[in-house]
């Protein structure tokens, strides 16, 4: 396999020639071959949304010049559209509070942004993963923020599906409202109930679960980004 050589504070390391990730990601691949499970797409998207927002905010403040800002945003938009997802390769089980995955994201965005600016892979001549993609951020605020955003995305779909399930159960409860069955208490026959009552109880619990999830989602909207180490 063709490779390029990249250098970081630990020295040089070979990276696949066409990979969008860089040295720190490659070290993580070699150091943490634990489960074979790659980052969940929702978590990737959430982290990329943080990077996109960071570029826009730093551009608005004049800390990031328009060319770099636009390139980072364009790279993020490509990932959010479903491209380059195979470039997020760090095992989900790794140490360092998520630093390796965070750098995987920074390096992929930086390398793609460099390509957009006319540069090559691994050169970071236009966009740096640390100085530009990660500007004003750290793993300690980006990771918890991305976790919350991922949960917001996934629980939105889950709540909608739970609503549909509750509606189906309500319809079934009506369909079997007059069909009687023995109640069961501790494996013994008890007062008769209808299948409609039993199925209606299931639907009620599903609705309650969805309501609790929605209440929890409101708290997930409070983010710690920008004010932590």
What is the extent of the structural domain holding 72? Answer: 3-137
What pLDDT is stored for residue 228 in this prediction?
Answer: 61
- Model pTM? 0.90
Give domain status of residue 181, yes or no: yes
Q: Which is nearest to 194 in space by CA: 181, 211, 207?
A: 181
Give domain status of residue 59, yes or no: yes
- Residue 202 tokens read as 């299931």
Whether residue 108 sits in one domain with residue 28: yes
pLDDT along the chain (229 residues), means of 10: 92 97 97 96 98 98 98 99 98 91 98 98 97 95 96 96 98 97 79 94 97 94 78
Give domain status of residue 227, yes or no: no
HEC profile of 183-197: EEECCEEEEEEEHHH
Cβ atoms < 10 Å from Cβ of 63: 13
CA 81 to chain centre: 14
Q: Under 8 Å CB-to-CB from 74, ≥6 apart: which residues?
A: 113, 116
Q: Which whole-number Å values give the CA distances from 68 to 113, 131, 132, 205, in the listed order?
A: 8, 11, 8, 50
d(CA 196, CA 122): 64
Domains of the chain: total: 2
What pLDDT is stored for residue 96 in this prediction?
Answer: 80
What is the CATH number for 67?
1.10.275.10
Concatenated DSSP letters for 124-150? -SS--IIIIITTT--HHHHHHHHHHHH
Whether residue 200 sits in one domain with residue 112: no
């Amino acid at each position: 396999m063709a490779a390029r050589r990249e250098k970081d504070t630990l020295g040089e390391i070979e990276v696949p020639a066409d990979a969008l990730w860089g040295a720190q990601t490659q070290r993580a691949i070699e150091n943490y071959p634990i489960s074979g499970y790659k980052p969940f797409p929702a978590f990737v998207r959430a982290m990329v949304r943080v990077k996109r927002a960071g570029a826009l905010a730093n551009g608005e403040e004049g800390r990031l010049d328009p060319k770099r800002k636009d390139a980072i945003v364009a790279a993020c938009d490509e990932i959010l559209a479903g491209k380059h997802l195979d470039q997020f390769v760090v095992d989900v089980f790794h140490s360092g509070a998520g630093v390796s995955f965070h750098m995987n994201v920074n390096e992929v965005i930086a390398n793609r942004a460099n390509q957009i600016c006319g540069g090559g892979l691994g050169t970071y001549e236009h966009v740096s993963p640390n100085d530009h993609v990660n500007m004003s951020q750290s793993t300690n605020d980006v990771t918890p923020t991305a976790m919350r955003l991922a949960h917001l995305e996934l629980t939105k779909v889950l709540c909608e599906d739970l609503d549909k399930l509750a509606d189906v159960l309500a319809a079934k409860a009506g369909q079997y409202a007059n069909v009687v069955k023995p109640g069961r208490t501790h494996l013994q026959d008890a007062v008769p109930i209808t299948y409609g009552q039993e199925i209606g109880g299931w639907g009620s619990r599903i609705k309650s679960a969805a309501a609790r999830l929605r209440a929890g989602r409101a708290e997930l909207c409070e983010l710690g980004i920008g004010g932590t180490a």
